[in-house]
């Protein structure tokens, strides 16, 4: 409440005659309607997750998290993310360097292609790899002859997650690097610094907040991806179930406490992501 009177005064000083009763009524009516909408759509579901998860007591909550299948789902999700996020970060940095530092033909086409996965339904994304690597897929027979499995196994989950989170780091870094310009890098190179040294000493420090921003969003999406992973995973309990898939299974078994307890982990991750994102924005970085 502390900030409100101050800014109200500021506003009416700058804009005389704007603090009439009518104006105030309209203002608080609009704020009230917006808040009611957000409360129903965002806050109610958020609170429900914790209310149901903790509804049967903290003991039941902890017991359901200790379930071996849930444990292995946590493990698989962490493993998948540990592969996907570094690879996509490396890709994002390379793509941003290539697109922001150089002028070449077909550049805007390449940028559009990088954004493509954002426009593809997650289910279609998962299906792409079933068509390629599934039993009746292009490489299905070849893989089976060599006793390799991609679909219904870890590699499929990793590559489907990689597809849906593919542009996250790149689309954050490309506009940022374009905005920051090349002057300092050109100066460093001209004065004899090597390419890698220029990257680590000049470019990386400049773009670090953008990198953090892109990486946490990539991380949140890869831990939470449902549609694409659901298509390629095969839902083998304790083996190919990631956290979101485990939530689905528990939910369909009418194990509400288990489903929402598992969901609460991912909700905490989402809240943590928003907190880090807000802190980065407080440092003056604006997302792209």
Partner 1 sequence: MSARRFLQPSVLPGFGLTFGFTTFFLSAVVLIPLAALVVKAASMHWTDFLSVVLSRRALGAYRLSFGASLLAATINLGFGFLTAWTLVRYRFPGRAFIDALIDLPFALPTAVSGIALTSVFSPTGPLGRPLAQAGIQVAYTWIGVTVALTLIGLPFLVRTIQPALTEIQRDLEDAAETLGAGRLYTFRRIILPALAPALLTGFAMAFARGVGEYGSVIFISGNLPMKTEIAPLLIVIHLEEFDYAGAAALGVVMLVMSFIGLLAINLLQAWGRRRIASAR
Residues in 6-65 that interact with partner 1 by CB under 8 A? 7-8, 15, 27, 30-31, 33-35, 37-38, 40-46, 48-49, 52
The CA distance from 61 to 59, in Å, is: 5
Q: Of how many residues is the chain composed?
A: 288
The CA distance from 129 to 81, in Å, is: 18
For residues 20 and 66, which CB has a smaller minimum distance to partner 1 in the complex? 20
Q: Is 174 in the site for partner 1 (CB under 8 A)?
A: no
Is the distance from CB of 137 to CB of 131 less than 8 angstroms?
Answer: yes
Query: What is the nearest approach in angstroms of partner 1 to the Cβ of residue 110?
Result: 7
Q: Is 239 in the site for partner 1 (CB under 8 A)?
A: no
Residue ranges in 84-103 that form contacts with partner 1 under rule CB under 8 A: 90-91, 94-95, 97-99, 101-103
Indicate which single residue of 152, 166, 213, 285 sits in contact with partner 1 (rule: CB under 8 A): 166
The CA distance from 259 to 159, in Å, is: 26
**CA angle, 97 then 113 then 269, to 5°:** 75
- Could you tell me the two tokens for 286? 């604006």
Binding segment for partner 1 (CB under 8 A), chosen from 56-64, 68-76, 204-212, 238-246, is 238-246
- Residue 153 is classified by DSSP as S
Residue ranges in 106-165 that form contacts with partner 1 under rule CB under 8 A: 110, 112-117, 119-124, 127-132, 134, 136-138, 159, 162-163
């Amino acid at each position: 409440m502390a900030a409100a009177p101050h800014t109200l005064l500021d506003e009416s000083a700058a804009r005389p005659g704007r603090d009439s009763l009518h104006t105030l009524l309209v203002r608080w009516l609009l704020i009230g309607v917006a808040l009611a909408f957000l409360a129903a759509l965002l806050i109610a579901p958020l609170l429900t997750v914790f209310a149901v998860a903790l509804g049967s007591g903290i003991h039941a909550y902890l017991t359901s998290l200790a379930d071996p299948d849930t444990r292995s789902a946590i493990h698989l999700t962490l493993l998948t993310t540990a592969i996907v996020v570094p690879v996509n970060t490396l890709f994002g940095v390379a793509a941003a360097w290539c697109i922001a530092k150089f002028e070449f033909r077909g550049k805007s086409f390449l940028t559009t292609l990088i954004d493509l996965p954002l426009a593809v339904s997650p289910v279609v994304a998962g299906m792409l790899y079933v068509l390629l690597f599934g039993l009746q897929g292009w490489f299905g027979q070849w893989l089976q002859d060599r006793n390799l499995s991609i679909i219904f196994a870890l590699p499929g989950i990793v590559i489907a997650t990689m597809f849906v989170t593919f542009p996250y780091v790149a689309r954050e870094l490309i506009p940022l690097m374009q905005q920051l310009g090349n002057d300092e890098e050109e100066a460093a190179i001209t004065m004899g610094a090597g390419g890698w040294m220029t990257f680590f000493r000049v470019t990386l420090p400049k773009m670090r907040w953008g990198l953090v921003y892109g990486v946490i969003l990539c991380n949140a999406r890869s831990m939470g991806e449902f549609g694409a992973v659901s298509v390629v995973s095969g839902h083998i309990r304790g083996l190919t179930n990631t956290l979101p898939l485990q939530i689905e299974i528990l939910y369909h078994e009418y194990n509400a406490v288990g489903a929402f307890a598992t969901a609460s982990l991912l909700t905490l991750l989402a809240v943590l992501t928003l907190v880090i994102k807000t802190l980065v924005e407080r440092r003056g970085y604006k997302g792209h």
